[in-house]
Amino acid sequence: MTRVLIADDSETILLLLRTRLEMEGYEVLAAADGVEVLEAIAAADPGPDILLLDAMMPRKSGIEALRELRAQGLETPILIVSAHQDELDAGAPTGAEVSGFVTKPIDFDALFARIEELTAA
């Protein structure tokens, strides 16, 4: 079973993502900000197979968490999620750091296909 860590500061979006992913058979870990992402990665055994990080969150953004995780050597695929293209343009991660971008509102069929592509063994 593919294990997905999702992070979003909106409880509604987090619940929607969790529900849809679990309905498709994914195991889901959730975080409300980048600090919780780093804590979840440190505590998870086994770690997630893929991360979906909201670009802008309090305390630590998804982009900041992405950069810290890459600096620590994490090679797990990471998708950055954002409702606003300008959030991504301002300090957007490079192709070497990020596995892709997902825009809100989320096209779940495209998201599931992307997750499968990035986690295929």
Helix (DSSP H) and strand (DSSP E) numbers for the chain = 5, 5
CA 27 to chain centre: 14
Q: What's the order of all strands across the beta sheet hosting 27-31? A: 27-31, 3-7, 50-54, 78-82, 100-103
User: Of 27-31, 33-37, 90-94, where does mean pLDDT reach its minimum?
Assistant: 90-94
Q: Which pLDDT tens digit goes with each residue over 76-112?
A: 999 998 887 665 555 556 556 888 888 889 999 999 9
Residue 119 confidence (pLDDT): 96
For residue 91, the model assigns a pLDDT of 55
- Identify the CA nearest to 31 among candidates 2, 9, 49, 60: 9
Q: What is the pTM of this model?
A: 0.90
